[in-house]
């Protein structure tokens, strides 16, 4: 089974990373709404874990962005 030309492999990696970012973003949106609901219900103790997890998710997104950036540059260079 052939892996295909480098450009196609690069695109597959980029598409995979983008899908992963979208999934992480959906989780982060849910986390924000859940934390806000909890805070408005008079439970501010959920704010700190929510912010920490959201920060980790952002770092993961940032890492994936740099991954996409690097792969894209490599593929364009050929």
Partner 1 sequence: MKLLRRRSSAPLWQDEFPVFTADERYVSRRQFTKFLTLTSFAMLAGNLWILARSWFRRAPVYPRRAVATLDEIAVGGVKIFAYPGAEDSCILVRTGQASYAAYSQKCTHLSCAVYYSRGQNRLECPCHQGFFSIADGAVLQGPPQRPLPRVRLEQRDGSLVAVGMEGEGA
Q: Tell me whether residue 1 or residue 10 sits nearer to partner 1 (CB atom).
A: 10
- What's the rounded Cα separation, in Å, for the pair 13 and 9? 6
- Binding residues for partner 1, rule: CB under 8 A, are 11, 14-15, 17-18, 21-22, 24-25, 28-29, 31-32, 35-37, 39-42, 44-45, 47-48, 50-51, 54-55, 57-58, 61-62, 64-65, 68-69, 72-73
18 CB-side CA count, 13 A: 9
Closest listed residue to residue 34, CA positions, set 53, 11, 50, 45? 50
Least distance (Å) from partner 1 to the CB of residue 4?
17
């Amino acid at each position: 089974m052939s892996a295909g030309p480098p450009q196609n492999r690069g695109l597959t990696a980029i598409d995979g990373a983008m899908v992963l970012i979208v999934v992480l973003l959906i989780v982060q949106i849910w986390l924000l709404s859940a934390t806000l609901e909890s805070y408005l219900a008079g439970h501010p103790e959920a704010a700190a874990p929510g912010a920490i997890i959201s920060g980790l998710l952002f770092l993961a997104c940032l890492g994936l962005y740099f991954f996409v950036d690097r792969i894209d540059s490599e593929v364009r260079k050929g």
